[in-house]
Amino acid sequence: MHIEPGIVTGAKLVLSYATGIAAGGVALKLAADSVREQGIVSFAVRTVATTALVFSFFEILPHLRVGVSEVHFILGSTLFLLFGAAPAAFGLALGLLLQGLFFVPTDLPQYGMNLTTLVVPLFAIHALAQRIIPRNTAYVDLQYRQALALSTTYQSAIVAWVAFWALYGAGFGATNLANIAMFAGSYALVIVIEPLADLAVLALAKSLRGVTAYGFVTPRAQRRVEIT
């Protein structure tokens, strides 16, 4: 999902800064809600955890440059289900920034669009989860179809944003369209694997229910929300 350098350049980068700032504003709103719910310490711990995981995903897990971007196993829906929307958003943002600062400085001009590409889909699955997962269902009790819906939505939104940036920056030429199609097709494997990763991680969290320290995961991960 890293947009390749040189695709969006010059004045067109301004839009990526604007979308990145807007995504940051939404993340701050979610962070304020998270702090009210579990406190600043819990939010900080979960953010550190997600940042470390995201950085590890970028640097350790297999990734491949395909067409206009790179295929990564981001596990965005897994991070959301385990740690919550705000810590996951901040972890994605900080992990992406650390990678750019220390390993791939050529990605820094693309930071706004890469941030948008990763974080806005997270907001989408946050909204989707509220619709498809009953409030009295803990995330550890999710069914495969629910995990698949979240992961498919997240990955599809990433592909859509990558396609948007590529078309915005490089136009509708045959080569660019072919590169976008190659990237989109390669993400089919990710869509297959990530729901299984979600369920595996949630199964582990379920086995540790009552052992995991309060505040280390989102409350919804291990307990139901009581309907009043």
**In which band, very low, low, confident or very high, does the pLDDT at 154 lie, cut at 50, 70 and 90?**
very high
β-pair partners for 69: 66
Banded pLDDT at 157 (limits 50, 70, 90): very high
Domain ranges of the chain: 10-222
Q: What are residue 105's phi and psi, to 5 degrees? A: -60, -20
Q: How far is CA 78 from CA 151, 215, 226, in A?
A: 8, 17, 23
Residues 6+ apart with CB under 8 A from 133: 139, 142, 146
Q: Is the pLDDT of residue 25 over 70?
A: yes
Q: Which pLDDT tens digit goes with each residue over 38-86?
A: 899 999 999 999 999 999 988 888 778 888 888 888 889 989 999 999 9
Of the candidates 119, 78, 80, 77, the one whose C-alpha atom is nearest the C-alpha of residue 96 is 119
Average pLDDT over residues 126-139: 91
CATH class assigned to 10-222: mainly alpha
What's this model's pTM, rounded to 2 decimal places?
0.91
Residue located via tokens 């990237």: 183
Residue with tokens 């590409």, as numbered in its chain: 117
